[in-house]
């Protein structure tokens, strides 16, 4: 059973690539052509979902959430989607449009650092059977509290004191960004 880039989603993926919001265009400008050290694909189909950015080498998904991700129903759907993606052994990094638009310069160096640490600490392990056929995840579960397990914060926004109206949901329903942030870059 094919789960990546299903043919029936081709037109949707093309439409999403052509009608991207500003924040996706800005981040793609930094991710494209392996500028962060790893190849990313944009608008990648995974199962019945289309994710914003996907790095197959590291099995990392980057999602950018806009205003459409704030109602209780939409957050519930995001959680279902995230649980499915995590069941495939994928790591999900979520950022808000505002974080990308206002803090891209501060975010990119931390994203590069996170990707390198993730690559060093989470080698890809394949299983004979994928999770939907009774096999285990394709990457080991991160150890709680281990440095590098959380997506990088956006120090540019922290410096400005920008707060999110609602936390984004991560594993176990908690926020996906840590509460303690590394020092602000010079």
Alpha carbon distance 174, 176 (integer Å): 6
Q: Is the pTM of this model over 0.85?
A: no
Domain ranges of the chain: 7-173
Look at residue 89 and give its three-state secondary structure. Answer: coil
Alpha carbon distance 60, 66 (integer Å): 20
Asked if 88 and 138 count as a contact pair (C-beta separation under 8 A), the reply is yes
Nearest to 186 by CA among 105, 96, 117, 111: 105
The confidence score (pLDDT) of residue 3 equals 73
Radius of gyration over every alpha carbon of the chain, rounded to an integer in angstroms: 16
Q: Cα–Cα–Cα angle for 34, 154, 76, nearest 5°?
A: 90
CATH number of 7-173: 3.40.960.10
The confidence score (pLDDT) of residue 170 equals 42
Alpha carbon distance 19, 24 (integer Å): 10
Alpha carbon distance 39, 90 (integer Å): 15
Q: Which of 155-159, 162-166, 180-184 reaches the highest mean pLDDT? A: 155-159
pLDDT tens, position by position, 83-118: 999 999 999 999 999 999 999 999 999 999 999 999
- The residues facing 41 across adjacent strands are 54
- The residues facing 51 across adjacent strands are 44
Burial track 121-150 (b if 16+ CB lie within 10 A, e otherwise):
ebeeeeeeebeeeeeebebeeeeeeeebbb
Alpha carbon distance 55, 122 (integer Å): 14
The confidence score (pLDDT) of residue 11 equals 74
């Amino acid at each position: 059973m094919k789960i990546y880039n299903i043919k029936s989603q081709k037109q949707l993926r093309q439409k999403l690539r052509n009608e991207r919001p500003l924040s996706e265009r800005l981040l793609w400008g930094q991710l494209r052509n392996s500028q962060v050290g790893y190849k990313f694909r944009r608008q990648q189909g995974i199962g019945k979902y289309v994710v914003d950015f996907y790095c197959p080498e590291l099995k990392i998904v980057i999602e950018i959430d806009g205003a459409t991700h704030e109602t209780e129903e939409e957050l519930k759907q995001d959680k279902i989607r995230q649980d499915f993606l995590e069941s495939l052994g994928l790591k999900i990094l979520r950022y808000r449009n505002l974080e990308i638009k206002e803090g891209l310069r501060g975010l990119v160096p931390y994203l590069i650092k996170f990707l390198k640490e993730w690559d060093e600490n989470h080698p890809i392990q394949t299983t004979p059977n994928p999770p939907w056929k009774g096999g285990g995840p394709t990457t080991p579960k991160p150890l709680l509290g281990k440095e590098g397990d959380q997506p990088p914060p956006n120090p540019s926004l922290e410096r400005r004191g920008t707060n999110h109206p609602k936390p984004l949901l991560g594993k176990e329903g908690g926020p996906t960004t840590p509460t303690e942030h590394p020092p602000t870059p010079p």
